[in-house]
Amino acid sequence: MPELPEVEVLRRDLDKETSGKKIKSVEVFDERSIKRNANVKAFVNALEGKKITSVSRTGKWLDLALDKTDHLVIHLGMSGQLLKATPKSEDPDHLKVRLSFTQGGALLFIDPRIFGEMAVLSGEEFAATEDIQDLGLDALDQQISWAEFGRMLMSRRTKLKSLLMDQKFIAGLGNIYSDEVLFNAGLMHDRVSNSLSAQEVRRLYRAVIEVLQEAVKYRGSTLSDGGYVDLFGKPGDYRQYHKVYDREGEACRRCRRPVVKAKISGRSTYYCEACQV
């Protein structure tokens, strides 16, 4: 599943590639991908002839502002992809929506598992959705003091990995980056949030910021399934910098002991028994 860094990479690419472009035509190949809108006709009519003015991000939601006050919002779900296409591009498998531009080219929404979605909403409708109202801290856009972060941790009594993946606590962190953050902070996944010392709080907060920024720098993580690619169809390079995630049995980059994999609450968790306490 694309996490915060992957969505931020797409946001930056989309802002460069689509802002200022007018949507000439819209084709919907699967109505399940636009389920928030009344029907295909309503979705198409809300987009055709509109210009994309800017692209922002709220958690893992992409927000393409339109020149008539509406917003095209996109969530990639488990397997969604956005690809820039040329007039000569062949349609990929699992194509759900195509937006063609008057200047040429198109934006394709691909989604094999159909957990993602596109919707045209007013700004008020988007802000009022439960998905948006419940989002927690955006660690890329809303940096806070480590003291405030510590107060957030102390107010909860939850195992650290579960808390980091709670979208009401931090928006956008998932399985990959929670494991990487905890390794960088030297903390085990099952430590309870209100048990951390002031020094551990600082380490954890710094790790959240640094891991996410590094992941964006290297354009996200593409795993062996190839599920994530950027707007141009290229994989992200951050996987080669992973310290623990997807590295079971390989030497820890810090102490050289084997990285451990455990199944916890149905999810794979990677860690180093020596470097994390």
For the chain, domain boundaries: 4-133, 146-271
Which pLDDT score, from 0 to 100, does residue 251 have? Answer: 98
Catalytic residue among 2, 17, 96, 161: 2
Q: Is 239 an active-site residue?
A: no
More confident: 225 or 275: 275
Q: Report the alpha-carbon distance of residue 30 to residue 35 in Å, rounded.
A: 10
Token representation of residue 167? 């979208």
pTM: 0.95
Q: What is the pLDDT of residue 69?
A: 87
Catalytic residue at 60?
yes
Q: Are 191 and 157 in contact (CB under 8 A)?
A: no
**How many residues does this entry show for the chain?**
277
- The predicted pLDDT at position 186 comes to 98
CATH architecture observed for domain 146-271: Orthogonal Bundle (1.10)
Active-site pick, 3, 6, 8, 117: 3
Give 138-169 as a DSSP string: -TTT----HHHHHHHHHT---BHHHHHT-TTT
Tokens 């990285």 belong to: 259
pLDDT score of 61 more than 80 = yes
Q: How many CB atoms lie within 10 A of CB 260?
A: 17
How far apart, in Å, do the first and last CA atoms of the chain sit?
A: 28
CATH superfamily of 4-133: MutM-like, N-terminal (3.20.190.10)
**Catalytic entry in 11, 50, 57, 60:** 60
pLDDT tier for residue 131 given thresholds of 50, 70 and 90: confident
Residue 163's pLDDT band, with cuts at 50, 70 and 90, is very high
Average pLDDT of the residues in 171-197? 97
Active-site annotation holder among 36, 51, 206, 267: 267
| DSSP label at residue 33 | G
Q: Tell me if residue 2 is catalytic.
A: yes
Residue 88 pLDDT: 84
In this prediction, residue 245 carries a pLDDT of 98
Is pLDDT at 141 greater than 80 in this prediction? Answer: yes
Told to judge if 51 belongs to the known catalytic residues of this protein, a careful annotator would answer no
Q: How far apart are CA 276 and CA 130, in angstroms?
A: 35
